[in-house]
Structure 1
């Protein structure tokens, strides 16, 4: 049975830090997916970048983007979801990975990412498949993420400043192939 873990926490709790450290602990080719990070100018957050574990990067949301959609003060570039995020969720075994079963890391299942319906479908497919999934989610309620959080096969782990440093090593050991 596939492992399905959601890392839940408030903004700034360390969800992205934990999933990036987890990715760094894994052997090359062992996982696919993407992470996000803030774009800052002069100490002020002005947007978010999305980077695949394969190293492709794009600006997902920015105050200077017109949208639609808009999430808060950010215009969201759904083309980044189409070109980078959705394709990064497909795990295919390779001789280099040596893994019999795939692992997909998703940072994150948030309002910006979920504004793209094909991304929602790709995530549903992930959770219906045989691949292991570790994804980050906000603590705030939302129809899509609440549905995932309440699945019987999903383990919901709270991320906090107290556990975020130890969590990646614990997850890596648990997911070890």
Structure 2
């Protein structure tokens, strides 16, 4: 049975840090997915960048200067970034459905979920035989709430106190060092 872990935490709790460290620890597995991180200018958050785990392709996903639609808060979201960078490796993993693959997604947030094709791909991944670790926000959302309620999903809280030990704990569970 595939492993399904959702890492839930508040902004700044270390979810992205956990995913990046976990990816580095699991070098013996085929790992695909992406991380997102804040873009800051002068101490103020101005947007978010998306970076693929394999190949390190990077692009601005959302920014205060993007017109949208869609808009999430004060950020316009470039859904083309999801289509070009995030979706191809995820779709490939879903089609391959190879036992031993691991999908890491940071994150299942409002900006990423504004892309309907991303939602469809995530649903497909959760129906496949692939291990998945994804970060989720603590806010209620119909899409992520449904994933959190799945009986095959383990919900793990990420806090400033737990973020340093979680990568090694998760790596051991997922067959890493």
Smaller-chain TM-score range?
Answer: over 0.9
Query: Partner of 2:93: helix, strand, or coil?
Result: coil
Task: Work out the CA distance in 1 between the residues paired with 2:7 and 2:28.
Answer: 22
Other structure's SS at 2:68 match: coil
TM-score when normalising by structure 1: 0.93
Partner residue in 2 for 1:123: 122
1:43-101 CA distance string (max 9 Å, x none): 11100000001211110000010010000000000000000111121338x9xxxx852
| Aligned partner of residue 13 in structure 1, secondary structure | coil
Displacement of 1:143 after TM fit? 0.2
Does the CA contact (< 8 Å) of 1:34 and 1:88 recur in 2? no
Aligned to 2:13: 13
Give distance in 1, aligned partners of 2:144 and 2:14: 18
Counterpart for residue 71 of structure 1:
72
Q: Residue by residue, what CA displacement relative to the aligned partner does 1:104-134 show, whole Å, maximum 9, x if unpaired?
A: 0000000000000000000000000000000
How many residue pairs get aligned? The number is 173
Q: What RMSD over aligned residues (CA atoms) do the two structures have, in Å?
A: 1.8
User: 1:100 & 1:145 partners in 2: Cα distance?
Assistant: 24
Q: Does 1:60 align with 2:76?
A: no
Q: 1:31 is paired with a residue of what secondary structure?
A: strand
* Residues 1:132 and 2:114 aligned together: no
Distance 1:69 1:100 in 2: 36
Q: CA deviation at 1:24?
A: 1.2
